[in-house]
Structure 1
Amino acid sequence: MPAPALYLHLPGTAAEALEFYRGVFGGEVQQFTFAQFERTDGPATAIAHGQLAGAVDLFVSDAGEADEPFTARGLMVALLGTAEPTTLRTWFASLAEGGEVVDPLQRRPWGDSDGQVRDRYGVQWLIGYQHGTDAAAQAATTAD
């Protein structure tokens, strides 16, 4: 069964967001304009549907009012343990570029590390990992 995926309505910035997220997470981008879908309920060159497929899957669209920025109160996208710690730290730093660190990525009293970042599009991400879960730590532990 496939995992849930994020679908963002980012009026006027969907194509830009897809490229940003591809730069953060890697993966393959597909995008289709309103004209390609023969839709008349939006500008012909706007993104009716875009997709990033890779380590993090997400969908975007220019649908919505152009003067209505993305907002999501009480929602975070959790990427807890979804990749090796080195990758998660890189994602955190990349998402913070042009965005805002809400809570720095740091080791917590219970031993894990996590942090929160709101990216330049207003999406809040919770990124974290358990220590000793990366390949280098596993190899060092096995070698001991």
Structure 2
Amino acid sequence: MRLTTFGEFGAPDPALADKVMHAMLETPGGLTLMASDTPPGMEVVPGSAISVSLSGDDADELKGYWEKLSEGGAVSVPLEKQMWGDEFGTCRDRFGVDWMVNITAPQP
């Protein structure tokens, strides 16, 4: 697991120094789970004070997670190909947690 704080990136506000900017956990199966504290300037909605990013190149597995995460929740950005080449989508699950799912484009 790798973890960096806003302070490590030079945030001038001491109140932000220990807040998590990037936390990353890579699974043996090749998936990457990322999380962060709510960054400055973004509204904090009770029950969704975090966003979770799930990334990898196993399209079938990630699409399965997407279906389960978005079921009963709300899709903000549909899971579809984006201008940078990956498939990406955002949703809020039925428990109020915000998710970002990114399927890495196959490399030539």
Q: Deviation at 1:3?
A: 5.5
Compute the TM-score of the two structures, normalised by the length of structure 2.
Answer: 0.53
Asked if 1:96 is matched to 2:47, the reply is no
- 1:77–1:99 Cα change, 3 Å: same
Question: Share of identical aligned residues, percent?
Answer: 33
2:52 corresponds to: 77
Q: Which of the two has greater strand per residue?
A: 2
- 1:76–1:108 Cα change, 3 Å: same
Query: Does the CA contact (< 8 Å) of 2:48 and 2:98 recur in 1?
Result: no
1: CA distance, partners of 2:98 / 2:88:
13
1: CA distance, partners of 2:60 / 2:96:
24
Unpaired runs of 5+ residues, structure 2, are 4-30, 34-45
Count, aligned residues: 69
- The counterpart of 1:131, out of the listed 99, 105, 108, is 105
User: Runs of 4+ in structure 1 displaced over 4 angstroms?
Assistant: none
Q: Which of the two has greater helix per residue?
A: 1
Amino acid corresponding to residue 103 of structure 2 in structure 1: Y
Asked if 1:120 is matched to 2:97, the reply is no
1: CA distance, partners of 2:66 / 2:91:
7
Q: Which has the larger radius of gyration?
A: 1
Query: Does the CA contact (< 8 Å) of 2:32 and 2:55 recur in 1?
Result: no
2: CA distance, partners of 1:71 / 1:107:
26
Amino acid corresponding to residue 92 of structure 1 in structure 2: W
Compute the TM-score of the two structures, normalised by the length of structure 1.
Answer: 0.41
